[in-house]
Structure 1
């Protein structure tokens, strides 16, 4: 059967507080971000694997405080005084500055403009000691930040993430599908994101609703019991 044309429609990611599902895997990080007024030294390093929820938490803090957001890789070209003027700044993927002298220096200067009078939130995949920073003064400052870690997701968190990803795509699925997927998929939020995208694309191409059959061939275990 000829597959239908599938249109790659934009997916609207939603980063509201009410869409963030708290679980034992992320409760510490959530509490740390929401308790930002008490950050030691005015800074927090939020770490976790790709897709673990760092961006969601960063957007929540941005909405709560008005802090501008900038990608670490873009810092060398950024207007640092304008960013610092708000007194609070989010640097996403801050570990991307490592190894580039201009970008490392930009993060160093931004840190000094914001901290300790204001608040600085950094996100990264791992602790600062593993970034490979070459600027000693920057390394010492980032390593002094308190660290909040997003742990690997449990079943409840994976279920909530899958439900949100389908909702972001305005896709309705049977309630029984999500626990079925959780029992068979790779246990990471990045995998959940990729799985939902692949299932949605297959569903659109086939012109059929998303079911267990849509997932066959996309999972570690392809049995459909």
Structure 2
């Protein structure tokens, strides 16, 4: 079934979705990864207890999974957690090459510092030859450092990435996890949690209908919960199926 076009109200609400966090991420079978990231966040919050040297596999993590499995959400959650803890962070992806240049200029200072810092790298599988070289150099700097953390995500396990061999090998030096897609019941649970957090009461038939007729990826579905919340307040009406259809009706 064809996905309906975005109505204007919904498109405007996409920019107002809550910040990514571990609390608003619903794991499927990703508990080992989430537990590892939660432990890391606690360490960042207690920097005064931070060890002078951390094992590399406590600071070097790669996770992989299909589109829509939460890879990018988790990277954003860890960037936000670092920001909350007052830790310097750098977010890299293939679409913003200038940010790689800025980070490489700071790598020497970061590597020699006792203060923790955080680097996230999204869509590792989509790096061009120039950025592959940059990531290789960055990883060498992380390996030589005391407290740089690097968190990376891609669509496949390191050995299955179409990248040069020495980089594939390095990606597997730390901890490697796989992220899983949510099934429909888990998606409904996640959406119910999001609605409850906003004080939003949904008619029981709303979420099954959305999964059948609307977007099935979690970012769009979560953004729709925000749009429904705003539209319900604006119209002073409960969130029932007629209200949802009205919101999604192209103007």
Flag whether TM exceeds 0.5 (same fold).
yes
1:61 match: 78
Q: C-alpha displacement at 1:208, in angstroms?
A: 8.9
2:104 match: 80
1:106 match: 134
Name which structure has the greater RCO, CA cutoff 8 Å, separation 6+. Answer: 2
The within-5 A match list for 1:156-195 is: 157-163=186-192, 172-174=200-202, 176-177=204-205, 180-181=208-209, 184=212, 188-189=217-218, 192-193=221-222
Match status 1:25 vs 2:29: yes
1:220 match: none
Aligned to 1:176, what secondary structure does the other structure show?
coil
Match status 1:91 vs 2:121: yes
Residue 132 (structure 1) aligned to one of 136, 151, 162: 162
User: Which sections of structure 1, spanning at least 5 residues, go unmatched?
Assistant: 217-225
Moved more, 68-77 or 159-168: 159-168
1:222 match: none
Aligned to 2:20, what secondary structure does the other structure show?
coil
Aligned residues: 208
In 1, are the aligned partners of 2:159 and 2:169 still within 8 Å (CA)? Answer: no
Q: 1:146 to 1:153 in 2, by over 3 A?
A: same
C-alpha separation between the residues in 2 aligned to 1:34 and 1:5?
Answer: 37
C-alpha separation between the residues in 1 aligned to 2:207 and 2:56?
Answer: 37
C-alpha separation between the residues in 2 aligned to 1:145 and 1:193?
Answer: 32
User: Which sections of structure 2, spanning at least 5 residues, go unmatched?
Assistant: 1-6, 41-53, 111-115, 246-251
In 2, are the aligned partners of 1:41 and 1:115 still within 8 Å (CA)? Answer: no
Q: TM-score, normalized by length of structure 1?
A: 0.68
RMSD: 4.1
Moved more, 187-196 or 38-47: 187-196
Q: 1:67 to 1:49 in 2, by over 3 A?
A: farther
Q: TM-score, normalized by length of structure 2?
A: 0.62
C-alpha separation between the residues in 1 aligned to 2:190 and 2:159?
Answer: 30
C-alpha separation between the residues in 1 aligned to 2:199 and 2:38?
Answer: 31
Moved more, 102-111 or 178-187: 178-187
C-alpha separation between the residues in 2 aligned to 1:175 and 1:38?
Answer: 50
C-alpha separation between the residues in 2 aligned to 1:188 and 1:138?
Answer: 30
The one-character-per-residue Cα deviations of 1:78-116 (angstroms, maximum 9, x if unpaired) are: 33242672543111222221xx22111111111111125
2:4 match: none
Q: C-alpha displacement at 1:20, in angstroms?
A: 3.0
Question: Which has more helix, going by share of residues?
Answer: 2
C-alpha separation between the residues in 2 aligned to 1:153 and 1:116?
Answer: 37
Aligned to 1:151, what secondary structure does the other structure show?
coil
